[in-house]
Amino acid sequence: MASHRKWSPTGTRIAGIRTPALATAALTSVALLSQTANAAPSADSKPSIEEVEKKVDDLYHQAEAATEKYNATREKTAQQRKRVDSLLDDVAQRTEKLNTARDELGSFAAAQYRTGASAPDTATLLLADNPQDYFDQTQLMSRLTSRQKVAVDDYITEQAATTKKRAEASQSLQTLTTTQSALRTSKADVQRKLAEARDLLSKLTADEKARLAAIEKKKQEAADRKAAELAQQQAAAEKKAQEAAARQQTTTGTTATNGTTGSSATDSSYTAKADKALAFARAQVGKPYVWGATGPGSYDCSGLTQAAWKTAGVDLPRTTWDQVNVGTTVPLSDIKPGDLVFFYDDISHVGLYVGNGMMIHAPKPGAYVREESIFYGGESIIHSVVRPA
């Protein structure tokens, strides 16, 4: 969080002088008057443009972290809802089978009544809380035919299974309710952070907004310089590698491909997939950032990378926290087009690397999908680089 300058009163301090009580009172009055005057609102009590810029950036970062939490909770909610639906369907089917078994036992009870057999025993069975205990305490089974025994067994089995599934469905419903509550909390947290950022920006004067834009421009220029430096370093490294391969070929008289064929094939396969992901991402440039969105009209950061790599046949998880664990982590110096670049210690942002130190990403609320330097917030916020395929 940004630190705001906090006004503290200052007054004349007389050290080493003993003053009469009246003089002391007078000095105290002057000090109080001075404090009262200084306590009035002043321009100095207002945060600087740099502090506002830092505060807004922090709020957007917090909002994005809350968005990833929202995404994770929403995905979990969807999974739990599917489980609840499946359990309820199972309970309904089992209940229907249980009713069928009960009807069949009822028909046996009616037949026993008509023939003067032990109808009360079977009727009691239908009302028993635990049919198995009932059978253990009676000799009813010895008086049943084979067909009746099968019907009774089916009834006992279905009642036990139905009771178990009903308990599972009840527990899943409780879990779903808890997750839905967490989802609402995450959503409110995102909205609160965004509202606070908008409020700060709305209070800026036209001159302050111009100064803020100038700060952002300087940051962008610095980021672009860093991107160019990375591109130059990678180009120099590639040239050096090619020269080394050429020297080896001249020395041995053969093409230096032995042992590297598999690696080349892998690189070629990755490049083909990355090209598809990048083509999709470029087509989304200009679409708005909307937190929680996965396309096609809008995206958040992880929604964009997930959708882009899906076109290449690679299924990425929904959140940045899970996407960072898919694939292979590589050093920044070895970054290639198509790689995922993750940001901040909490891994709350991600972009798709396009080459030359640049990436395509959905930056933040109020912005649009765009191509930008991976150093847009400074090199220190880059968490890791992951090759997802």
Backbone dihedral region for residue 314 (phi beyond 0: left; psi -120 to 50: alpha; all else: beta): beta
Active-site option among 4, 61, 349, 383: 349
383 labelled catalytic: no
Give me the residue label for tokens 């035919």.
Answer: 145
Active-site option among 4, 61, 301, 383: 301
Rounded to whole angstroms, what are the CA distances from 121 to 129, 131, 158, 266? 14, 11, 20, 74
pTM above 0.75, yes or no: no
Who's near 53: CB < 8 A, 6+ residues apart? 212, 215, 216
3-state class of 386 per DSSP? strand
Active-site option among 4, 61, 361, 383: 361
Rounded to whole angstroms, what are the CA distances from 49 to 5, 46, 56, 101, 220? 12, 9, 10, 76, 17
349 labelled catalytic: yes
- Please state, in angstroms and rounded to a whole number, the distance separating the CA atoms of residues 19 and 218: 56
Closest CA to 103 of 124, 132, 126: 126
Joined tokens for residue 267: 């690189």
DSSP H or E segment with residue 381: none
Joined tokens for residue 181: 């509550």
pLDDT by residue for the chain (389 residues), tens only, comes to 444 333 333 343 333 333 334 334 433 443 443 444 444 444 456 789 999 999 999 999 999 999 999 999 999 999 888 888 888 888 888 888 778 777 776 666 665 555 555 444 554 555 455 555 555 545 455 555 666 667 777 777 878 888 888 888 888 888 889 989 999 999 999 999 999 999 999 999 999 999 999 999 999 999 999 999 999 999 999 899 888 888 888 877 655 454 455 566 778 899 999 999 999 999 999 999 999 999 999 999 999 999 999 999 999 999 999 999 999 999 999 999 999 999 999 999 999 999 999 999 999 988 999 999 999 999 999 999 999 98
Give me the residue label for tokens 């898919």.
Answer: 326
361 labelled catalytic: yes
3-state class of 328 per DSSP? strand
- Please state, in angstroms and rounded to a whole number, the distance separating the CA atoms of residues 358 and 373: 4
Please compute Rg for the chain using Cα positions. 36
